[in-house]
């Protein structure tokens, strides 16, 4: 039996909406007590001074990319899960746009076994980081090609967390049929609304900075027209949907209006869209080439306000690993995406909580119980007799982002080589 006491730790519990300093007693993966002071301890209790540290519910990622299967040089399941654990995540969800795509129950079963799961477990056993739970999104269409709907019932029976292609679907007739088919399955369905005809060859959000930097622009309407069409279908059919990768102020307005009408819609934005705007692209760092692109300053501020207000429910990581060779190209030619599992919490805390723009509870809410709710899951409170699914975070610990400090196989991030403040020390799963 393993019993540990975390003394005087700052407990951030977004489930019960409490933020207070307490002692927390954990035995064999279950919380035994939470109190101002716990003195009655067994002799074998491991006591840990946690003054200045933060203990929160385990972080939940809505969607990210795994290189495996098909692109193991970018990321394996092992490195993906290690990176997630190092970032404080106790549940992660991978998108189906692998090679082959996750469009068949057999591949779901194979991935759930983890391809060498014992190796993953043993590699983490020597650290204080535990193996996150792996959720798998099933593809909506075969080969995520947007043409033929997969065998949704078979995928649901195999245990996918929900359905998405993680790519834009331009066939609204197919989307309408899908919303009808998926309703009785009781699984989340997620869409990335984006009109590729309006996107054209753009790589940067339309505006003054795009003109200044000489990069092909993407109009706001590429996102908002697709969101408006999806909202109309939801209003007509009534199937709950999740809208991924919200990136513009106008999108926030559309979502607020839809929610005010009582439509069953949840939404997420990505962590980088909350931290950076088009001005950052001045460096032409290819890890700032994202899809959807970083917004203008007004977009970033609208997204922050929307997360605080709950119009945008959750913050997703959308971890997108690419090799050095893939990213060393001209900005417009490099594939869009950046890693983020190990960086999101420290940077969001530093730039949003330390500045006073977000409370700690607001940030943790959007990174833990809210994404779980979007997946139709629940996060347990930090309270006696509940499972210890927890993240211990040191907001003052400094570290340098470099290949030897990252668990991800890929290092495509604009923060590479920089020193960050804040690091996860331990997770309980």
Average pLDDT, the chain: 95
Q: Give the contacts of 131 (CB within 8 A, at least 6 positions apart).
A: 81, 85, 120, 121, 124, 429
pLDDT band for position 124 (cuts 50, 70, 90): low
Asked whether the whole model's pTM tops 0.85, one would answer yes
CATH superfamily of 59-379: Metal-dependent hydrolases (3.20.20.140)
Q: For residue 70, what pLDDT is reported?
A: 95
pLDDT tens digits for 190-205? Answer: 999 999 999 999 999 9
pLDDT tens digits for 299-313? Answer: 999 999 999 999 999
Q: Cα separation of 401 and 150, whole Å?
A: 40
pLDDT for 122 beyond 60: no
Sequential DSSP letters for 69-108: TT-TTT--HHHHHHHHHHTTEEEEEE-S-SSS-S-SHHHH
Instruction: List the one residue out of 17, 114, 28 whose CA is nearest residue 362.
Output: 17
Which three-class secondary structure state does DSSP give residue 330? Answer: coil
pLDDT for 125 beyond 90: no
Return the ∠ at Cα 396 (arms to 394 and 398), rounded to 5°.
Answer: 100
pLDDT for 102 beyond 90: yes
pLDDT tens digits for 315-367? Answer: 999 999 999 999 999 999 999 999 999 999 999 999 999 999 999 999 999 99
The active-site residue out of 13, 97, 165, 318 is 318
pLDDT for 263 beyond 50: yes
Catalytic-residue membership of 318: yes
More confident residue, 126 or 377: 377
H-helix or E-strand spanning residue 397: strand 390-400
Q: Cα separation of 423 and 429, whole Å?
A: 18
pLDDT for 115 beyond 90: no
Residue 238: CB atoms within 10 Å: 12
Mean pLDDT of 21-45: 94
Domain ranges of the chain: 59-379
pLDDT tens digits for 50-95? Answer: 999 999 999 999 999 999 999 999 999 999 999 999 999 999 999 9
pLDDT for 114 beyond 70: no
């Amino acid at each position: 039996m393993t019993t540990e006491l975390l003394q005087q730790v700052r407990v951030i519990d977004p489930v019960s909406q409490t933020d207070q300093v307490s002692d927390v007693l954990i035995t064999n993966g279950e919380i035994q007590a939470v109190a101002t002071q716990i003195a009655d301890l067994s002799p074998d209790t491991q006591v840990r001074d946690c003054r200045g540290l933060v203990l929160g519910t385990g972080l939940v990622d809505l969607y990210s990319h795994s290189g495996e299967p098909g692109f193991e040089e970018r990321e394996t399941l092992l490195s993906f899960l290690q990176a997630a654990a190092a970032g404080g995540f106790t549940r992660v969800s991978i998108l189906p746009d692998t090679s082959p795509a996750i469009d068949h129950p057999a591949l779901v079963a194979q991935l759930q076994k983890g391809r060498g799961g014992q190796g993953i477990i043993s590699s983490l056993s020597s650290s204080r980081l535990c193996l996150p739970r792996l959720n798998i999104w099933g593809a909506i269409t075969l080969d995520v090609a947007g043409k033929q709907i997969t065998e949704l019932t078979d995928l649901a029976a195999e245990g996918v967390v929900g359905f998405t292609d993680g790519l834009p679907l331009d066939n609204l007739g197919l989307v309408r049929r899908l919303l009808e088919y998926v309703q009785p399955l009781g699984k989340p369905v997620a869409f990335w609304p984006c009109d590729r005809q309006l996107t054209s060859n753009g790589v940067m959000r339309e505006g003054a900075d795009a003109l200044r930097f000489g990069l092909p622009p993407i109009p706001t309407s590429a996102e908002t027209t697709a969101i408006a069409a999806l909202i109309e279908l939801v209003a007509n059919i009534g199937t709950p949907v999740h809208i991924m990768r919200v990136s513009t102020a106008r999108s926030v307005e559309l979502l607020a209006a839809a929610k005010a009408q009582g439509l069953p819609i949840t939404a997420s934005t990505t962590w980088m869209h909350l931290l950076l705007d088009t001005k950052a692209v001045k460096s032409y760092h290819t890890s700032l080439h994202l899809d959807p692109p970083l917004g203008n300053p007004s977009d970033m501020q609208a997204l922050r306000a929307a997360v605080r207000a709950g119009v945008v429910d959750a913050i997703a990581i959308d971890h997108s690993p690419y090799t050095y060779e893939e990213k060393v190209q001209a900005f417009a030619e490099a594939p869009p995406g950046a890693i983020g599992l190990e960086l999101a919490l420290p940077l969001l805390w530093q730039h949003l909580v330390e500045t006073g723009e977000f409370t700690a509870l607001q940030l943790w809410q959007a990174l833990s119980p809210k994404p779980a709710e979007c997946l139709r899951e629940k996060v347990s409170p930090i309270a006696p007799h509940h499972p210890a699914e927890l993240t211990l975070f040191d907001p003052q610990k400094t570290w340098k982002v470099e290949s030897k400090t990252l668990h991800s196989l890929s290092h495509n991030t604009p923060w590479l080589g920089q020193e960050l403040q804040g690091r996860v020390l331990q997770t309980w799963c």
